[in-house]
Amino acid sequence: MASRQLLIQRSWRSSHPR
Q: Give how far Cα 5 sits from Cα of 10, 11, 12, 14, 18, Å.
A: 8, 10, 11, 14, 19
Per-residue pLDDT at 8: 87
Distance CA 10, CA 18 (A): 12
Per-residue pLDDT at 14: 81
Per-residue pLDDT at 10: 87
Give me the amino acid identity at 11: S
Each residue's pLDDT tens digit, 1-18: 678 888 888 888 888 777
Per-residue pLDDT at 1: 67
State pTM to two decimals.
Answer: 0.11
Per-residue pLDDT at 18: 74
